[in-house]
Amino acid sequence: MPKTINPSSKHNTPVSVLQSIATITCQRDRDLLAQSLVSTLAELIHSLRITMYRTLPNEQGEEAILVAECVSPSAPTSSPSELSVFVATRADFKRVLETAKEHVESLDEFTIRHVFPIAGKHNTVGLLEIIAGNGIEIDQKLIVSFLMIYSNYLNILDESETDTLTGLLNRRTFENNMERIIANERAQTQIIQPELNPQHPARRQINPAHPHWLAVMDIDHFKRINDQFGHLYGDEVLILLSRKMKRIFRQTDKLFRFGGEEFIVVLERTSLDCAKKVLERFRSGIENFNFPQVGKVTISIGFVRLDKIDVPSAIVGRADQALYYAKEHGRNQVCFYEELVSEGKLAAEHFSDDLELF
């Protein structure tokens, strides 16, 4: 749900700008960082709508995913921003990504649109769209300066939160992410549009009535790969597998390298059927991929519904049981914990709240 722009905006005094920078840099979460930046800009400049998009490669082309938005109460009634849009369908987005320069255009006699690139380490990683009244002067230097601060701070977060080999989130960040997701499950206040993107009907539906899911994945016979081909080729398997994870799972899914050859995926809200299908699609994709020098590699997966009454260690413990069952019964398969329990293949486990993960 987009935040509302405060109509009584701050003045752009040095003190207010410094306070805004302090507010932004106190965040330790990417999504909160993005929302903090958008909210700050909404207070410092006169605008009708400010929207931030994260850009990601997709099999259908570059995709822009909405991550933060602020809308002014004085903005004319309009349809909500799309949760995701293919860059090819937006000439302004495409131009900004190609040139890494700001784009300005009049939408009508009353409004004007500015689109700014958000720089990453090596390329443009996002877009900032500002809709303002025609005749309202936008302080471009102020916006560019804040985007530079945001980019620099995002790089710091990336270095501290990501695994250096695979680029996935690391184990240190897992517990914080899990606690936040469980808190959202308990509150059940997250409002997400459930409609499918008509331009991409095959995408999984995000519905607030559906739960999150946690999957633990382990590469089969990984020690054999290291022993036979060496650790350099073992590392290449980990890198290629993580790239496939980024392509197959959604941007809103959380991807972790948990340690060694073990990975964890926290699936954004979806149905059990969709969770099974995407995990099976990933398993099959790995099985059918030809890893250089190594050849065929398979993975085993155990997954569980993310329960709002549990602690992270209990949820991981159940997913691990399903993973071990998959390993012990042939490997290269996806096993659902609750299904195994209902079929009598596993005994239900109860984990103490004080069980430590680390």
pLDDT value at position 123? 86
- Please report the domains of the chain, with CATH numbers, ordered by start residue: 3-161 (3.30.450.40), 171-342 (3.30.70.270)
Q: What is the pLDDT of residues 326-342, one digit of tens each?
A: 999 999 999 999 999 99
* 261 belongs to the catalytic site: yes
pLDDT value at position 271? 94
pLDDT value at position 225? 96
Low-confidence residues in the chain, pLDDT < 70: 1-12, 58-59, 76-80, 186-208, 350-358
Cα–Cα distance for residue pair 111/302, rounded to 1 Å: 51
pLDDT value at position 193? 36
Cβ 175 vs Cβ 312: under 8 Å: yes
How many residues appear in the chain? 358
pLDDT value at position 182? 81
Q: What is the pLDDT of residues 265-307, one digit of tens each?
A: 999 989 999 999 999 999 999 999 999 999 999 999 999 998 7
Q: Which of 63, 69, 129, 261 is catalytic?
A: 261
Residue ranges of E strands in 3-134:
3-4, 49-56, 63-71, 84-86, 103-106, 111-119, 124-133
Cα dist. 260→56, 73, 145, 174, 222 in Å?
26, 50, 40, 15, 9
Calculate ∠ Cα 150-153-155, nearest 5°: 110
